[in-house]
Amino acid sequence: MPDLNLLFALDVLLTEGSVARAASRLRLSPSAMSRTLARLREATGDPLLVRAGRGLVPTPRAEELRQQVGRVVQDAEALLRPADLLDLWSLDRIFTLRTNDSFVEEFAPRLVTRIQADAPGVRLRFAPKSDKDVMSLREAAIDLEIGVAGATGPEMRIQALFRDRFIGAVRAGHPLSRGVVTAECYAAARHISVSRRGREKGPIDEALNLLGLQRNVACMVSGFSAALAMASASDLIASVPERHTQSARAGMHRFPLPVATVEVTISMLWHPRLDADPAQRWLRGCVREVCASG
């Protein structure tokens, strides 16, 4: 009969990619962990981790096993976890959410209020998108990622929260605040381009190019809040996501973009090892509730 304890050791080894780190997590000596790796190699008929320079890299077979063993271990942990009810009032935890500044500015105040109503001992940490990497989700350094789901690990859980579209925003009394904004008028006005990577052109420019038009970009900023602050004090146009900037646009005139742009779906992502955790499920429910109420 196979030793099922090897599954837990295999999950940690493939997650850490290091005998020493795996030994530390499992509270074993490095020599004991090396013996466990030898047993795993014999059981699977594969070297699993091979030397590459000073480190170890997984074999193709190990990459296949990584997803399978993670799910098996997660299910086993869920079966063996006590089925106690979650006591929110005494819950004392810090949850880390990785998202962009616009989400924080628009949704965080309501989310914090919602969290505090049920669990006053819970704190939220909002990590910037610049920290983005899949490993932090796998290692549970990040509890939730919120944003447009791009390339992620195949095992990640994803749930859509809402859809957002881009609109134009100008100061009250701006010439474009009166009447219908045509593509020609929109392109001819002076614009603020928003890009975290410093790009001058994006999907809006591509849509205008199809009409033979080009935006007159006066400056570039890295965030929508900065763009709105500049637009509210000048004749510049800020093209921003509607739901993400509802509060930040207070007192400004908004209008639909005169070109077709694709709506974006904002989702939350988490690692399956957090799927069954009662506190994590409550947190995800609070995020869904706040986003739906917007």
Averaged pLDDT for residues 48-68: 82
Claim to verify: residue 41 and residue 63 sit in the same structural domain: yes
Claim to verify: residue 246 and residue 173 sit in the same structural domain: yes
Reported pTM: 0.67
Q: Which of 80, 113, 136 is the last residue of a domain?
A: 80
**Which residues, 6 or more positions from 111, have their beta carbon under 8 angstroms from its beta carbon?**
124, 286, 287, 290
What per-residue confidence (pLDDT) applies to 150?
Answer: 67
What share of the chain in percent tops pLDDT 70? 90
Taking the C-alpha atoms of residue 170 and residue 188, their distance in angstroms, rounded to an integer, is: 14
User: Domain tally for the chain?
Assistant: 3
Question: Residues 129-156: pLDDT tens digits?
Answer: 765 555 576 666 789 999 887 656 567 8
Claim to verify: residue 283 and residue 253 sit in the same structural domain: no
Claim to verify: residue 122 and residue 148 sit in the same structural domain: yes
Asked whether the beta carbons of 13 and 37 are under 8 A apart, the reply is yes
Claim to verify: residue 269 and residue 216 sit in the same structural domain: no
DSSP class of 274: G
Claim to verify: residue 277 and residue 145 sit in the same structural domain: yes
Claim to verify: residue 155 and residue 270 sit in the same structural domain: yes
Taking the C-alpha atoms of residue 89 and residue 97, their distance in angstroms, rounded to an integer, is: 21
Q: Which of 80, 104, 135 is the last residue of a domain?
A: 80
SS3 115: helix
CATH number of the domain at 156, please. 3.40.190.10
Higher pLDDT: 73 or 94? It is 94
Claim to verify: residue 39 and residue 170 sit in the same structural domain: no
CATH number of the domain at 61, please. 1.10.10.10
Asked whether the beta carbons of 99 and 114 are under 8 A apart, the reply is no
Claim to verify: residue 147 and residue 284 sit in the same structural domain: yes
Taking the C-alpha atoms of residue 170 and residue 274, their distance in angstroms, rounded to an integer, is: 43
Taking the C-alpha atoms of residue 108 and residue 8, their distance in angstroms, rounded to an integer, is: 37
Q: Which of 11-25, 45-59, 124-138, 280-294 is predicted with the least confidence, judged by mean pLDDT?
A: 124-138
Q: Which domain holds residue 57?
A: 5-80
Helices then strands, each counted (H, E), the chain: 10, 12
Asked whether the beta carbons of 19 and 74 are under 8 A apart, the reply is no
Claim to verify: residue 184 and residue 157 sit in the same structural domain: no
Q: Which of 80, 97, 115 is the last residue of a domain?
A: 80
**Is pLDDT above 90 for 9?**
no
Claim to verify: residue 129 and residue 144 sit in the same structural domain: yes
What per-residue confidence (pLDDT) applies to 202?
Answer: 85
Claim to verify: residue 48 and residue 118 sit in the same structural domain: no
Local confidence band at 82 (pLDDT 50, 70, 90 cut-offs): low
Taking the C-alpha atoms of residue 26 and residue 13, their distance in angstroms, rounded to an integer, is: 10
